[in-house]
Structure 1
Amino acid sequence: MKTLPKPLCNVGLITMLLLSVAGCEQKSSQASASSSVAVASSADATMSSMAAGAACEGVAPSGDLTAVRIEAANTTRTEPGLYEGPVWINDSLYFSDFVFSEGFPSRIQKLDASGQMTTAIEDSGSNGLAVDNNGLLVAGTHKYKSVSRYNLVTGERTSVAQTFNGNVFNSPNDIAITEDGIVYFTDPAFQTAAAPGGQEKTGVYRVALDGTVTLVDDTISNPNGITLSPNEDVLYVNGGGEQGVLRAYAIVDGQPQAGKDLVTGINVPDGMAVDCLGNIYLTEHLTRKLRVFNPAGEQIAQATVDANLTNAAFGGPEGTTLFLTGAGALWKIDLAITGSAY
């Protein structure tokens, strides 16, 4: 996640925070009544904020935020579907645009700085998107039941991860990539009917630099959104449907440890982004809500949009615009802080 400033701090601080979260039972009064939030002690939360924000200039959002629909990006399709996986690359926003018909046909759209929308890749078969350290687009591709890499100039596709234990994946969804190129992705079953085969369980996976795929967690039903802390020493994953969770995994020596539930009671969690202070921007699909949590799991801000919501990413000329994707629609929220480009 190269777009985030790297804090000049001891990376063990946030790991210490995660270890403290497991035994903490304080509830956040700012979260919705349906949610129970695991909150770290104020001392640990302060340490985390200092660690994440040491090289971050910006102000965290608070309270009710206003999301503005980008009318120029309204869908041109007649079939119902979703926009997904926003990613900011070279002054433009790219996102997947798929429909619910057989095979979940998908294309990658581009919204440029002038507000013009064009199709970058016509038949991508994609859902979540990210950008690697070579500037290439990485996609969860349900069409191929794999994680793919696309050259946006030529449209050429290559595989990042094709199988685990001899079988293809279900429908790779969202992606997070470390600065040195390690890929994490979620594999729910939402578009598993797009092609034959799949895994026995839905899961979260890690792809090493040599292409080796390992399982991080298979205990979350339909894991969905995935992102990394600014220091890349915490992996965040959500999922679980109507009684969903946000789970945090400390990363030690490049390997994710056992996950701890940071927030529970989330209603159909979907995609996520993080800002340079480590705050987590989580979308709730059916409630059409964006919820913002600090690294301790306390809700600090929220927004509501007018269609089902799927994902979030930072972009814009200053990197302070939060873009939201949903059911045939895009929104933007102007903030006073930078964050991850996907």
Structure 2
Amino acid sequence: MSTEIYEIHDPRFGGLIHTNARLETLWNAGRWCEGPAYFAAGRYVVWSDIPNDRVMRWDECSGYVTTFEKPCQNHNGHTVDLEGRLVSCEHRGRCVSRIEHDGSYTVLADRFEGARFNSPNDVVVKSDGSIWFTDPSYGIDSDYEGDAAESEIGARNVYRIDPSGAVSMVVSDMVQPNGLAFSPDESLLYIADTGQTHEPDCDPVIRAYEVQGDGVGAGVDFVKSDAGLFDGFRVDTQGNIWTSAGDGVHCYGADGVLLGKIRIEETVANLVFGGPKKNRLFICATTTLRAIYVNATGAAR
């Protein structure tokens, strides 16, 4: 069943959307928009325009868009840590960095066992303050989103930064690990594999890993895309996954069933829940920043 922009595959999706809510275009001057993060204290969204080497800022109160940072080392994914600071994945910097409350800049991690990361892509903060991030090769594959270079690590993995600063490798069985998020109770870590960009036989899946202390157990395929690749995604308080895809935003139940889609004419790269009630999806869709109200609430970090 479809209702204009909505595609309902399971009756549960009807309870997660407002059929009279419309998709808004907040900005449309990007080249490849990614990595949205919402700052509740300031009521604004920041996101990356990776090839243009800038981070943009949309103000929720005024609707104005300004440049937050340029140049920015080709930022990709962002998140907000437990103290309200911006944590960033840098393609060209090949690191995970943080902007402190006073505006100063801190590199949190740029190497593992002496080798530089490829190009950190997406990042999430766990409730214990640890930082988990993916490290595919997109930022070193060409000069379009970073600097072309050979991989020093020779693999594409997922890493954890302990609050002490120590870095450990937690997942090594993916072709190109990309978006990631924890389930609401943090018992599962979900990670998207976009390896089909490099290996045509790689399934476009989100895998689920049981969290075990400071690491994870073996992963299992959780959902498979029927339209392009999954990239960035978020989880709501009920455990539903809202994910980017080639034809818009897909919503999956905690049981892995496709509940429905929000159709968008551009490839979606990433999204984040925001607004005072965390019930508004801010969506990075290729050249645009979009927004839509849903009947769901983003899960706490």
Superposition TM-score tier, normalisation by shorter sequence? 0.7 to 0.9
The correspondence for 1:167, drawn from 115, 118, 121, is: 115
1:157-306 matches, cutoff 5 A = 157-192=105-140, 193=142, 194-195=146-147, 196-198=149-151, 199-242=153-196, 243-265=203-225, 267-284=228-245, 287-306=246-265
1:1-342 matches, cutoff 5 A = 30=9, 61=16, 68-71=23-26, 73-75=27-29, 81-89=31-39, 90=41, 91-99=43-51, 105-113=52-60, 114-125=62-73, 126-151=75-100, 154=103, 156-192=104-140, 193=142, 194-195=146-147, 196-198=149-151, 199-242=153-196, 243-265=203-225, 267-284=228-245, 287-340=246-299
Would you say the 8 A contact 1:65–1:303 is kept in 2? Answer: no
Would you say the 8 A contact 1:63–1:302 is kept in 2? Answer: no
Would you say the 8 A contact 1:236–1:248 is kept in 2? Answer: yes
Q: Larger relative CO (CA 8 A, sep 6+): 1 or 2?
A: 1
How far is 1:332 from its partner? 1.3
Would you say the 8 A contact 2:274–2:280 is kept in 1? Answer: yes
Quote the Cα distance in structure 2 between the aligned partners of 1:261 and 1:320: 28
Quote the Cα distance in structure 2 between the aligned partners of 1:216 and 1:67: 40
Would you say the 8 A contact 2:17–2:294 is kept in 1? Answer: no
Matched position secondary structure for 1:191? helix
Would you say the 8 A contact 1:64–1:302 is kept in 2? Answer: no
**Cα gap change, 1:197/1:60 in structure 2, threshold over 3 Å: closer, same or farther?**
farther
Letter paired with 1:207: I
Letter paired with 2:100: N
Would you say the 8 A contact 2:18–2:293 is kept in 1? Answer: no
**Cα gap change, 1:63/1:116 in structure 2, threshold over 3 Å: closer, same or farther?**
closer
**Cα gap change, 1:65/1:202 in structure 2, threshold over 3 Å: closer, same or farther?**
farther
Higher helix proportion:
1
How far is 1:69 from its partner? 3.3
**Cα gap change, 1:288/1:153 in structure 2, threshold over 3 Å: closer, same or farther?**
farther
Deviations 1:234-272 (A, max 9, x none): 111011344311111111234321111111355311100
How far is 1:141 from its partner? 0.4
Matched position secondary structure for 1:269? coil
**Cα gap change, 1:228/1:339 in structure 2, threshold over 3 Å: closer, same or farther?**
same
Quote the Cα distance in structure 1 between the aligned partners of 2:204 and 2:18: 23
Would you say the 8 A contact 1:315–1:341 is kept in 2? Answer: no
More moved, 204-213 vs 126-135: 204-213
**Cα gap change, 1:112/1:233 in structure 2, threshold over 3 Å: closer, same or farther?**
same
Matched position secondary structure for 1:325? strand
Matched position secondary structure for 1:318? coil
Deviations 1:116-150 (A, max 9, x none): 01112222221000011111100110111011112
More moved, 218-227 vs 143-152: 143-152
Q: CA RMSD in A?
A: 2.4
Letter paired with 1:216: V
Equivalenced residues, count: 274
**Cα gap change, 1:215/1:134 in structure 2, threshold over 3 Å: closer, same or farther?**
same
Quote the Cα distance in structure 2 between the aligned partners of 1:301 and 1:265: 12
Match of 2:5 in 1: none
Would you say the 8 A contact 1:88–1:313 is kept in 2? Answer: yes
Quote the Cα distance in structure 1 between the aligned partners of 2:299 and 2:265: 24
Would you say the 8 A contact 2:94–2:118 is kept in 1? Answer: yes
Deviations 1:53-109 (A, max 9, x none): xxxxxx9526989661324x221x6xxx2111111102111111122xxxxx52211
How far is 1:197 from its partner? 4.9
